[in-house]
Structure 1
Amino acid sequence: MLVRFLAALLLVLGLAAPVAAQDKRIALTFDDAPRDRGAFLTPDERTKRLIDGLRQAGVEQAAFFVNPGFLSRPDGQGGEARLAAYVAAGHVLANHSFSHPALTDLTAEQYLADIDRAQAWLSKQPGHRPWFRFPFLNEGRADKAKRDAVRAGLRQRELTNGYVTADASDWNLEGMTIAAKRAGKPMDMDALRDLYVRMHVDAAEAFDGIARTALGRSPAHVMLMHETDLAALFLPDLVAALREKGWTIVTADTAYADPIAPLAMTVDVPSAQGTLTEAIAWEKGMSPPRWYEGNSPEVATRWFAETVLKEAK
């Protein structure tokens, strides 16, 4: 009897080990749609390549956080059709405000009115989800009264916080490619791909480590990305690299059903801005680092200069 019990125990432990090693889950989300053109593609080309890349990578559902006010920009022309194409491909849309303001620049009432303008457009779109993501991940910073007023306004509107748990600051990398292109600087595209992929994978790993320390487990993560040329060019490579590190790509619906989701509306830290991972760790008294080193513009600029532009240190 004892022998059978020990054998069964070993079998259970043996089966449990791979599950624990493969519990890293992450959803892909893209901000600022429809975004202005980047360094390499037209907006139409970018959308097509993103859809093709997501399909090629086997990503069932990504989320695009929309700024309807961007539709009136020159590069926003045709944006309705591009957003509809994402939905037709199985992806979802959510609210990123109408005009992309920083909460610290407006009153809570003005900010909520901007959200309402976006929601009036989004509520008529198929594939819409009731998630709101703060532009710049700025939730009021040190102004807790404003933070709480907006949280209350979101609850009244039956919107939830479209938080992120992992961030590689891809907006900075995109900005550097645009500046290099305009300056006529040659870029090593293989190195650019490798840097883009490495930064996102390393960010996922770093924030997951922080989450495991703060929570005692790995939540279903939400990766912050932007609707950029770099995502369109390198997304299959990124997904392959994440899977090689043991990550499973899940839907945004799955990620936002994680038990940490309600914390996005209650976590209390001295300055409300950034990832939910960072906020949870800060609230629990964890010391820095609570973020990924590549989020530092100075660090990412050095990496870009050294690897992509081949500029001397």
Structure 2
Amino acid sequence: MTMTLRRLILILLALLAAVPAAAQEKRIALTFDDVPRTRGALFTPGERTRRLIAQLRRAKVAQAAMFVNPGSLATADGAGGEQRIAAYVAAGHVIGDHSFSHPALSRIGATAFLADIDRSEAWLKGRTGYRPWFRFPFLDEGGSDRALRDAARAGLAARGLSNAYVTVDGSDWNIEYQLEQAVRAGKRVDYPALRTLYVETMVRSADFGDALARRVLGRSPAHVLLLHETDLAALYVADLARALRRDGWTIVTADAAYADPLAAAPAPDTPVAQGTRIEMIALEQGVPAPRSYERNDSRLANRLFATWVLHEKEAP
């Protein structure tokens, strides 16, 4: 070994030693939106909750976060929703605010949006497992309207709520929607292929988000994965957890994820306030596209579902 090569190796080792271990480790928390959801393609709401709790326990996920829409409790399928939410908390998980009726901020304006939050907070505050975290429906923080964005952010601060941003999004809701449509149409579903598609999509979305984060932050933060309370999760979240760990991820609690310095950093000032927190930071820094994981494009995602899960041939 030449002196020059030996010197380069020593320099590289020194540089690696200087990087904090937490910055090198891939950490991720699991979070679920739209709790309690209505009946899906496969399970009643109660069955889904029982299966999801069992899957998380089997996967040794000590704490996930469930973001609640209390307005869903008034629907026909919302019957028993309060007990389902309590069951998640009893299993060790925590609950946050996802608005009362799941409106899009960009569509209804700040006044109505904040009034909707007040309704959800009135239901949530004081409940066991509650965290003062707010998850924007549709990850819509005001779109291209900066005044609207700032009004919403100020409204959250005035209410003592922090932004429960996400850093990883694989559009699991769209895979769930494709499954519902296929089952209702009586199509044959290849469930092993569905599991592969769901798990691979979420793991790859995590790796995409982490690579982008290391580029714009210079480190790997404690990531927050956006999932939904779906039949897919009730079937395969334990498989997802195992695949994440095989890929080098450590699954952490939502409390740990939102203790990351990223949570205390100033919110990004971007032309468009929608999407993952990392995507918005990349936009703020002028990082060119792609800033979003490719399978968030529904055209690609739907084509994969059709060919992998339904074994339909692509149109010529």
> Which range, TM-score by smaller chain?
over 0.9
* Deviation, structure 1 residue 221: 0.2
**SS of equivalent residue, structure 1 residue 32:** strand
* Deviation, structure 1 residue 107: 2.1
Quick check: 1:38–1:228 contact (8 Å CA) kept in 2? yes
* Deviation, structure 1 residue 277: 0.6
User: What CA distance in whole angstroms lies between the structure 2 residues aligned with 1:129 and 1:11?
Assistant: 41
Residue aligning to 1:240: 242
* Deviation, structure 1 residue 109: 1.0
1:289-308 equivalences in 2 (<5 Å): 289-308=290-309
2:127 equivalent to 1:110:
no
Quick check: 2:23–2:221 contact (8 Å CA) kept in 1? no
User: Once superposed, what is the RMSD of the aligned Cα atoms?
Assistant: 2.0
TM-score, structure 2 length as denominator?
0.93
User: What CA distance in whole angstroms lies between the structure 1 residues aligned with 2:229 and 2:191?
Assistant: 19
Post-superposition Cα deviations, 1:129-183, rounded to whole Å, max 9, x if no partner, equal: 0000100001110111011011111111000001000000011000000000000
Alignment: residue pair count: 305
1:148-159 equivalences in 2 (<5 Å): 148-159=150-161
Post-superposition Cα deviations, 1:240-297, rounded to whole Å, max 9, x if no partner, equal: 000000000000000001111134x621111110000100111111111111001000
User: What CA distance in whole angstroms lies between the structure 2 residues aligned with 1:157 and 1:285?
Assistant: 32
Post-superposition Cα deviations, 1:54-91, rounded to whole Å, max 9, x if no partner, equal: 11101010000000000011111100000000000000
1:1-313 equivalences in 2 (<5 Å): 19=21, 23-263=25-265, 266-313=267-314
Q: Classify 1:242/1:35 alpha carbon distance in 2 versus 1 (closer, same or farther; 3 Å).
A: same
Amino acid at match of 1:290: R
Quick check: 2:24–2:220 contact (8 Å CA) kept in 1? no
Identical residues among aligned pairs (%):
61
User: What CA distance in whole angstroms lies between the structure 2 residues aligned with 1:282 and 1:258?
Assistant: 21
User: What CA distance in whole angstroms lies between the structure 1 residues aligned with 2:96 and 2:154?
Assistant: 19
**SS of equivalent residue, structure 2 residue 261:** coil
Q: Classify 1:196/1:18 alpha carbon distance in 2 versus 1 (closer, same or farther; 3 Å).
A: farther
User: What CA distance in whole angstroms lies between the structure 2 residues aligned with 1:193 and 1:236?
Assistant: 11
User: What CA distance in whole angstroms lies between the structure 2 residues aligned with 1:166 and 1:204?
Assistant: 5
**SS of equivalent residue, structure 1 residue 171:** helix
Quick check: 2:23–2:220 contact (8 Å CA) kept in 1? no
Post-superposition Cα deviations, 1:182-229, rounded to whole Å, max 9, x if no partner, equal: 000010000000000000000000010000000110000000000000
Moved more, 283-292 or 62-71: 283-292
User: What CA distance in whole angstroms lies between the structure 1 residues aligned with 2:34 and 2:63?
Assistant: 17
Unmatched tracts of structure 1, length 5 or more: 1-7
**SS of equivalent residue, structure 1 residue 260:** helix
Residue aligning to 2:4: none
Quick check: 1:22–1:247 contact (8 Å CA) kept in 2? no
Residue aligning to 1:5: none
Amino acid at match of 1:237: D
Amino acid at match of 1:164: V
User: What CA distance in whole angstroms lies between the structure 2 residues aligned with 1:145 and 1:57?
Assistant: 43
Amino acid at match of 1:32: D
* Deviation, structure 1 residue 10: 11
Q: Runs (4+) of structure 1 moved beyond 6 Å? A: 8-18
